[in-house]
Every structure is written in structure tokens, then in C-alpha cells.
Amino acid sequence: AELASLIPVSGSTYTYTYVTLGEIFAWIIGWNLVLEYAAGAATVAVGWAGYFNRVMQGFGVHVPPELTTAFFADPTAHGAPPGAVHGLFNVPAAGIVLLLTALLVRGTSESTLFNNVIVAIKVTVVLMVIVFGAAHIDQANWSPLVPENAGEFGTYGWSGVVRGASVVFFAYIGFDSVSTAAQEAHNPQRDVPIGIIGSLIICTILYIAVAAVATGVVNYKELGVPDPMALVMDRTGVSWLAWAVKLGALAGLTTAILVLLYGQTRIFFSMAHDGLLPPIFARLHPAWRTPAVSQILVGVVVALAAGLLPLDILGEMVSIGTLAAFALVCLAVLRLRRMHPEIRRPFRAPGIPWLPVAGILSCFALMVALPLDTWLRLLIWTVIGIAIYLLYGLKHAKRLH
């Protein structure tokens, strides 16, 4: 919030890193943000498709499994029989990405109105889940509060809590997207800190309340299904609310995809403006004043990823990049406070230097809990990014700066 109010331009963590730590670090974190936002949007789109398919089945419409399963998904995963159908392309997942891309190309005013309506529906459904579900909580489902470790790191026990927190951190990438829109806010010095901190507090309260209700109504071992909230409402006996939950989940996931697609192109815009990417990524549509070409390119790539890649591969590629980005934000706050203490800051983060130091340590602790193959994917992606920087970005950035 401090950096967004002090540097109110598109680009989020990339811009803050550029100002405080230099170009090469900015490129690395910007490249990892590309992975975070693109893989995040594709991940949510696959989840959206799961709820969409269940809603369609409720109406008696059965889409062929070949058109609802990713090509690279294991057809025998999750207990499916050996003769399970091999997927070709997840059409609903790719379709929602392309639809929202078209909406964003037309302009932020239309997408903002759409987003506000969907958020209102989503919050209403979440509150209904909390209210109706709370009356059916069985406290025996909360015992033990931390299940005993199964003998390996990350499988229940406190190591499982840390591993789970590393994965669940994916749910918090949305508030970071607020800062990518700072340049388009009417009063970014005031509005952006309120948006970031306010959304973080509200979402955290709702996350905790929904998790408490879900694990209180249904044993945690039964919640590993595509539509856990619908299962929870079915157990309460309020059948009509199960439908409302499915529709609310669709609404919530839709806004998440919208925000991630939006944030991705704003990061591209800043990187292209600095010469690290080709200028086409900063080109605005003459009528709609949006980075239309960049938005379309991002939409097509994300749609292909959502249609071809399974949920587990996509999900593993998001959290580690997000944690690395947030650790660098904390470092940027410390460095800027030391480099330029005289600058007037519209919003000042409390607890300096202890709060950002705690943030850095927390991020790295969660990163360490992630599997080794996640680190390997991050390393490969970073190496590819550095190669692009050396072949294109370094040359053109020197010309501009």
C-alpha cells in the first residue's frame, strides 16, 4: 500500500522493484509475475469449468468429457478407471477466458461495472453459506485441530499446515492486482491503500468464516471435491442453497479471472514502456484506450493453457512466484525508506523495519515448504526470462534509459 500510493503507476511489484532494486531485478520479478498472473488465470478458469459442468449437469446437459478435460490431464487420476476417456480440450475453461478478454478489450468502465455486480452476488452467497452453515456445525469435525503427521513432511501435522498455507496463498494474489490499476484511479494516493488493505481484511475474515463452517459441517477428509461448498450445503439439508452456492462460485471465479487478466496486461504495459518488451505490448487502442493487442495475446495464451493443462500443474506454478514477488515488495519498502527518507509518503506502513522483515521471512518459510518440482519449474522459467532479457530487453532498455 505504501509503494502503490508513492508510485501510482501500472506495473505493481515490477515497478516498485525497478525503482528500488534496479533493472535486472525488475525484469526477473516482472517475468515471474507473468507466470503468476497467467497461470493463476488459467488455474481459476479450470476451476470455473468444473462448477460450470456441474451446473449444466443439473439442467440435464452433459458435455462430452473429451471437451471438458485438459489434453495433458492424466485420465486415470483421482481414482478414475483405467479405461477413462482421454481429454482433448477444456472448452468451458478456454471459453470463459476468451469471453472476459473480449470484455477487457472494450474498456475498464464496462469490466468494472460487470465486476462490481458479480462481486455483490458472490459476497451475498458467501454470507448465506456462513449463516445457514453455522447452525449445522458439528464440533467433533474440528478434533483434532491439527491432524497427526502421516510420517512425511507436508502430510498433516504442523508441516502440513505450512504446506497448506503455501498453496492457499494463491487466494491472496487478488489484492496485489489492485496496485496494477493505480495509474487509472482518480485519487491513487488515497484510494489504492484503502482498496488493498480493505480488501485484504474483508477477504481474510470471509475466508476464515467459510473454512470454519465447511470443516465444521463436513469432515475435512471429504472436502477434496470440485465443489466442496455445494457438498457442505447438501449436508445441511438446504438443497436450494446448494444451487445458489454453485452459481455464487461461478460468479466469484469469474471476477478472479477478470482481475488476473487485467493485471497481466498492465504489467506488460509497464515493461514495454521501459523497453524491456516490444512496444506492441504498450500500444493502446485508438477508440477504447486499452492495450487491446496485449490483452488479446494474453487471453489467447491463457485460454490455451486452461484448455490443455490440468489443474495440478497450473496450481503449482502460481504460489511460489507470488511469494517471491511479495518478499521483494517488503525489501523494496526497506530500501526506499533508507535511500529516500525525505520523500513525502501519502501512506506509511507501520512497524518499519520489523514488519517488512517479518514479511520476507514468512514468504521464504512458505516457499521452502513447496515441493522441489515447483522450485525447478520456477528456475527453468527464470532462466528463459533472463535469456529474453539479454537478447532483447538489455539492448532496448539501455536506449530508453
Q: Quickly tell me which residue has 520489523 as its cell.
A: 354
% of residues, the chain, pLDDT over 70: 90
pLDDT at 68 over 80: yes
- pLDDT in the model for residue 306: 94
- pLDDT in the model for residue 398: 60
- pLDDT in the model for residue 9: 66
Distance CA 217, CA 375 (A): 36
User: Please, which residues have CB within 8 angstroms of residue 110's CB and are 6 or more apart in sequence?
Assistant: 103
pLDDT at 77 over 60: no
Cβ neighbour number for residue 28 with a 10 Å cutoff:
19
Residue 21 near residue 331, CB atoms below 8 Å: yes
Element (H, E) at 58: helix 23-58
CATH number for the domain including 47? 1.20.1740.10
- pLDDT in the model for residue 302: 96
pLDDT interval class at 29 (50, 70, 90): confident
Q: Quick one: which of 297, 237, 275 has its CA closest to 34? A: 297
- pLDDT in the model for residue 189: 76
Report pLDDT digits (tens) over 298-355. 999 999 999 998 877 787 788 888 888 888 888 888 988 888 888 888 888 888 899 9
pLDDT interval class at 75 (50, 70, 90): low
- pLDDT in the model for residue 79: 46
Distance CA 34, CA 235 (A): 40
pLDDT at 216 over 90: yes
- pLDDT in the model for residue 215: 93
More confident call, 387 vs 106: 387
- pLDDT in the model for residue 141: 93
Compute the mean pLDDT over every residue in the chain, rounded to the nearest whole number.
84
- Counting Cβ atoms within 10 Å, is residue 141 exposed (0-12), middle (13-18) or buried (19+)? middle
User: Please, which residues have CB within 8 angstroms of residue 313's CB and are 6 or more apart in sequence?
Assistant: 72
62-66, 67-71, 234-238, 277-281 — which one is most confidently predicted on average?
277-281
Residue 23 near residue 400, CB atoms below 8 Å: no
pLDDT at 270 over 90: no
Distance CA 266, CA 98 (A): 18
Q: Quick one: which of 171, 167, 149 has its CA closest to 158? A: 149
% of residues, the chain, pLDDT over 90: 23
Q: Quick one: which of 165, 331, 132, 93 has its CA closest to 233? A: 132
Q: Quick one: which of 191, 189, 239 has its CA closest to 3? A: 189
Distance CA 91, CA 67 (A): 6
Report pLDDT digits (tens) over 221-260. 888 766 788 788 888 887 788 888 888 888 888 888 988 8
Residue 326 near residue 363, CB atoms below 8 Å: yes
Residue 192 near residue 183, CB atoms below 8 Å: no
Number of domains in the chain: 1
| Three-class secondary structure of residue 165 per DSSP | helix
pLDDT interval class at 205 (50, 70, 90): very high
> What is the model's pTM?
0.81
pLDDT interval class at 401 (50, 70, 90): very low
- pLDDT in the model for residue 4: 76
Distance CA 122, CA 271 (A): 33
- Alpha-helical segments (H) within 218-353: 228-236, 239-273, 292-308, 311-316, 319-339
Report pLDDT digits (tens) over 176-185. 667 766 666 6
pLDDT at 10 over 90: no
SS3 content of the chain, % helix, strand, coil (to 5): 75, 0, 25
Q: What is the mean pLDDT of residues 44-70?
A: 87
Distance CA 220, CA 299 (A): 35
Q: Which domain range does residue 275 map to?
A: 2-400
